[in-house]
Every structure is written in C-alpha cells, then in structure tokens.
C-alpha cells in the first residue's frame, strides 16, 4: 500500500513533469475505481490543464486549470505511471490520460481495483467519504508535537493500532508504522497508557525522521529521468517483513506476527515490553 514516502515521491515527480500540461484525450478502461462518473473524466478533462499536485493523507490531489481537482486514493494496489505511450499497457490499467505535445502518458493501474478516483470542484472535497472525519496529515505543519500529544489523549489500545487509524493521523500504514516504532524503540503491542510523554514525543520525532529517510530512497527506485513507473519498493526497510533476519541495530532476530491479515515486525530486544505473543 502506498504510504507517505511513496506518495510524496510521486507528488514531487508530477510537480516537475506534469504541471502545466494540457490533456488531449482520456480513456477510462475499468469502471469500479471511478467514484465520479467515468463519462465526466472522458468528456470534460480534454482541454483542461494540470496545476500543482498536492498530497493529503493517502490521496494525491491533481489540481486543474478549470478549478477542479482529480483526487486519487490508490488504496492497496494502485500504481501510477508516466511513460512513453508505446509502453505496454498493464492489464489492470484503469485510466489513461494523453497529453498535448507530449511524449509521455499518465496512467493508473490497480491489480485489485480497490482505488478511488474522484473528479470534483476544489470546494467539494469534503464530499469525499471520511474527508472531514479523518485526522490531519502527519506532515501537516499545524500538527506539531503538542498537537500530536493532544490528539493522542483520546485514544486507547495498542500504539500500532492508533498509528494506523486515519482518524488519529493520516498517511501512516502498516509498513511504516513498524519502521517508526522500531526507530523509536517502542514495542508495537504496548498500550498507549503504558507510554509516558517522553515516549510519545519520541514517536513524533521518529515518524518524521522515517519519512525523511524513506522518501528519497523510494523516489530513486521509481523515477528514471522523466519516466515514472511505480512498483512498490521496500527492500531498504530495517524491520518490516524481515522476520527471522538480524535487527540492524542489535543483531537479535526480528520477530514477525500475523494477526487479522496484518504483519507486524519488531525487535524484542530493541523494543521490549508489550503483550506476550
């Protein structure tokens, strides 16, 4: 699932290579991902031009000269491409956008067809389900350490579950939650009530450190010049899905637990405590 590092890297790429380009033709190939009528994409996007790209949680927001926004949440398996139009089309390509006077084409493919694509006015984003009920983005400048602590006060349960709850904060998924907790030396199964203020502040710092560390590594893997072909890269991670391998900090074998179709990876030496599992 794309999380902040992947989406930040994609956002940066499109701001360099898509901004200012005009749409010439649109093909909507697989209907389920379109949450606004696919006909609107085909009939109203041609002639419109891309503006600045933003990210909000796990959404990429492509602003348009018409005052609208193409809001895309790739969910679990959604992937973005900016490639030569002659490049073989992925079997689960849902959207193709051809551009005026361009040797590149914008595509979105989704193996499980779980993504959500909206075409709405910039003042209509609140109509996107859960847009207003979800919490702030992790990288929102207004979410400083004190605001982080204040939001945490109303949550109970184990800390990893809180981290991956979009109502608390947006943009963190299962993989990077493991990395943040390892960075902070906090067991993923510790209850929030077992953590003191120092722990909670360290989690905030670690969350930002992990995003800063991972984003350029992700971009290096998916971008080649002016070509973007995003396939998930997680080979640089320190603990996530590395059960049985040595912790890069202490050498202990990394533990891996699967529950409710979610894999949690952590080091029992570096991240002591938590429920016995």
- Domains belonging to the chain, first-starting first, are 4-127 (3.20.190.10), 145-220+233-266 (1.10.8.50)
Q: Are strands 93-99 and 116-121 parallel, antiparallel or unpaired?
A: unpaired
DSSP string for residues in 16-49: HHTTTPBEEEEEE--GGGBSS-HHHHHHHSTT-B
CB-CB contact of 181 with 271 (8 Å): yes
pLDDT tens figures, 193-220: 999 999 999 999 999 999 999 999 999 9
pLDDT tens figures, 11-43: 999 999 999 999 999 999 999 999 999 999 999
Low-confidence ranges of the chain (pLDDT < 70): 275-277
In the prediction, which pLDDT does 102 show? 84
Rounded to two decimals, what is the model's pTM?
A: 0.94
Closest by CA to 233, choosing from 62, 79, 75, is 79
CB-CB contact of 184 with 267 (8 Å): no
In the prediction, which pLDDT does 52 show? 98
In the prediction, which pLDDT does 154 show? 92
Alpha helices in the chain (DSSP H): 4-17, 38-44, 145-152, 159-163, 174-184, 197-222
In the prediction, which pLDDT does 118 show? 98
In the prediction, which pLDDT does 16 show? 96
The torsion of the CA quartet 34, 35, 36, 41, rounded to 10 degrees, works out to -20
């Amino acid at each position: 699932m794309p999380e902040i590092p992947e989406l930040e890297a994609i956002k940066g790429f499109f701001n360099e290579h898509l901004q200012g380009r005009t749409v010439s033709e649109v093909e909507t190939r697989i209907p389920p991902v379109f949450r606004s009528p696919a006909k609107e994409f085909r009939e109203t996007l041609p002639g419109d031009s891309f503006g600045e790209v933003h990210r909000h949680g796990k959404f990429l927001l492509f602003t348009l000269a018409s005052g609208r926004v193409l809001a895309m949440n790739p969910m679990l398996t959604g992937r973005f491409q900016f490639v030569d139009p002659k490049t073989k089309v992925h079997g689960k390509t849902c959207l193709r956008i051809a551009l005026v006077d361009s040797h590149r084409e914008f595509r979105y493919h989704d193996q499980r067809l779980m993504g959500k694509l909206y075409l709405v006015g910039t003042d209509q984003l609140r109509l996107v389900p859960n847009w207003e009920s979800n919490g702030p983005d992790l990288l929102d400048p207004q979410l400083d350490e004190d605001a982080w602590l204040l939001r945490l006060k109303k949550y109970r349960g184990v800390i990893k579950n809180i981290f991956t709850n979009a109502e608390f904060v947006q943009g963190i998924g299962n993989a990077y939650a493991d990395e943040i907790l390892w960075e902070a030396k906090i067991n993923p199964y510790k209850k929030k009530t077992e953590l003191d203020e120092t722990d909670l502040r360290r989690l905030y710092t670690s969350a930002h450190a992990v995003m800063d560390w991972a984003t350029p590594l992700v971009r290096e893997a998916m971008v080649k010049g002016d070509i973007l072909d995003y396939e998930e890269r997680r080979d640089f991670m320190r603990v996530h899905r590395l059960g049985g391998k040595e912790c890069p900090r202490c050498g202990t074998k990394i533990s891996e637990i699967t529950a409710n179709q979610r894999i949690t990876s952590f080091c029992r030496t570096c991240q002591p405590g938590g429920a016995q599992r």
